[in-house]
Structure 1
Amino acid sequence: MPLILISGYPSGGKTYRSKQLISYFESRINTSSDPKVKRLKVHHIDDQSLGIDRNVYAAARTEKDARATFSSAIKRHVNRDAIVIADSMNYIKGFRYQLYCEAKAVQTPSCVIHVGVPKDKCQELNDQALQAGTGGYEAELFENLVFRYEEPNGMTRWDSPLFTVPFDDAGPPCEAIWEAMVGSDGKAKIVRPNAATVLKPASEQNYLYELDKTTSDVIGAVTTWLQDHAGEGGGQVIVPNSQEVLILPITSPSLPQLQRLRRQFIGLNRQHSLSKARIRDLFVDYLNDAFSK
């Protein structure tokens, strides 16, 4: 059953919205006469329940370890009889993509709920929590997290379907989320895993070498095109030996940006059992998704 990712600025009321959603889901489960619905269990996973201190976000190493802990907890709970609500900032699109892959690998749907609270209001709530000693982030860390936040985009597969909850709304669109994730008859849409999301140990010979070389070749093709079309905004890059066409944004990506996306893709697919023949097309598709934001 579904994985529901909560995403938003720090101190934006994500846990409050999560609890509203949990209350609605548990009510639907308890009042249902459908045995498939009755057996569902709601699991609320957040930093506090996992013993993750908010200060871990102040350093790259501790934050990486925290995300690994969070991801492992989700893997343990996602199954056909569970509704998993992942209550954290989930502010890195690459991490949301990773969790999307985890859900699809076990053939369960996923969605993202964006708690859309303005930065100024989050700042106010954060300061109140700090003064009351009930939570909050130090000023520098708060600003850093807001700066690094990558807002969900419903046009990308891993952020879709996307439900946005404005600050002034009384609650999330619980019924719409239930229909999308569980279905009125308890039969959510069937999600079929594909080669890009089934997490299996790499088995093809020289897989990691091919992953590194192929993605490097694609970046090389892009940089060559950019050099030949200097000063032009946007454009289509025909990548050799790929069936996909790379669509560049109006503002041309820099080499550091391209290399960062390449490292993200390699990190996300290092443990996958992808067909080596599909790496090129999948990487081009990944770049197109990143540039469409």
Structure 2
Amino acid sequence: MPLIIVSGYPSAGKTTRSLQLKEALEARIAREGAADSRISRLKVHLINDQTLGLSRNVYHTARAEKDARAEEYSAVKRVLSRDDIVIADGLNYIKGFRYQLYCEAKAVQTPSCVVKVHVGTPADKCRQINKQLLEDKDKDGGYDEEDFENLIFRYEEPNGMTRWDSPLFTVLDEDKTPPIDQIWDAMIGSDGKAKVVRPNQATVLKPATEQNYLYELDKTTSDILAQIMTYQKDHPGEGGGEITVSGVDKPIELPATPMTLPQLQRIRRQFITLNRQHNFSKARLKEIFVDYLNDQFLR
């Protein structure tokens, strides 16, 4: 089940690119499906604000935006399957949200990969397009100017070095179409056999049977953050470095710029939210949290 997450600035042309992708993928399925029954079963689904009936005004308040994101997430999750290609056409500007979608795709255990299409239209051109859309009453309309600037400011650009933003395909403003052939090969494979994506412990949900699991989740992550802060306090003004966590083979690889406590706490909260329903041993919690920290620090 391939998942294509479209990401970019507001008014960058994401829906135009998504429609191009949908049309090209459906044409290729029709062309190659005659010789391959697996490809013939594939269906392409486009999910965006329009298909969900959402207004662009949802970005005016944090609560409405959160609800809209939850609706997109639920819609994607409903159609994830072995025989579907899902195009999640939205701002998808929050790194943590893209990671959630990545985890859902990986948990499906299908022969596919997760592809991100980052629309590389410059912010100034997006600003001009949005202004024109606001002035053109016959069109769908743009984003409120204040909302637009806020979304530009908060945009977390995809990073191909992280697992959930890889492989990353950048579509520039002057490109006529997205790189369809490369995306097809990454999702389906040139021979119709893409690599099998296997779920890992961080993406397979299990009921939490241990009564003290949430306590251990909270304590383990707090202890590791305290270890990082102690290291940075002992090495003032220094960036980078490695921290060895007891019981974990891989060290924590700190970024070149020292991390502040609020930054670390935000990463910790994201991790707890994603893993509060899992049931790992304490040793596994350490290992998974260290991996998660290293992924975050690579950005």
Q: Which residue of 2 aligns with 1:68?
A: 70
Q: 137, 145, 152: which is aligned to 2:158? A: 152
d(CA) in 2 for partners of 1:260, 1:56: 24
Q: Which residue of 2 aligns with 1:274?
A: 280
Who is 1:31 aligned against?
A: 31
Superposition pairs of residues 20-169 of structure 1, within 5 angstroms = 20-32=20-32, 33=34, 34-108=36-110, 109-133=113-137, 134-169=140-175
1:5-16 superposed matches below 5 A? 5-16=5-16
Matched residue type, 1:127:
K
Q: Could you tell me which amino acid in structure 1 is paired with residue 70 of structure 2?
A: A
Contact 1:29–1:40, Cα closer than 8 Å, also in 2: yes
- Aligned residue pair count: 293
Once the two structures are superposed, residues 137-183 of structure 1 have per-residue CA deviations (whole angstroms, 9 ceiling, x without a partner) of: 11111111011111111111111111110111111000110011012
Deviation digits for residues 11-44 of structure 1, max 9, x if unmatched? 1000000011111100011112211111111000
**Is the 1:195–1:273 Cα contact (8 Å) retained in structure 2?**
no
- Tell me if the contact between 1:236 and 1:245 (Cα under 8 Å) persists in the aligned partners: yes
CA distance in structure 2 between the aligned counterparts of 1:94 and 1:88, rounded to whole angstroms: 14
Deviation at 1:202, TM superposition (A): 2.6
Identity, % of aligned pairs? 64
TM-score (normalised: structure 1): 0.96
> Aligned partners of 2:201 and 2:148: how far apart in 1?
38
What does the per-residue CA deviation read over 1:223-244, in whole Å, with 9 as the maximum and x for residues that have no partner?
1111111121222122233322
- Which sections of structure 2, spanning at least 5 residues, go unmatched? none
2:48–2:89 contact (8 Å) kept in structure 1: yes
Report the CA distance shift for 1:10/1:274 in structure 2 as closer, same or farther (over 3 A).
farther
Matched, 1:213 2:213: no
Contact map agreement 1:195 1:275 (CA 8 A) in 2: no
Matched residue type, 1:115: V
In 2, are the aligned partners of 1:40 and 1:81 still within 8 Å (CA)? yes
Aligned to 1:266, the other structure's residue is in SS state helix
**Cα distance in 2 between the residues matched to 1:176 and 1:226:** 42
Asked if the contact 1:198–1:273 (Cα under 8 Å) also holds between the matched residues in 2, the reply is no
- The question of whether the paired residues in 1 share the 8 Å contact of 2:247 and 2:283 is answered with no
Instruction: Report if the CA contact (8 A) 1:196-1:274 is conserved.
Output: no
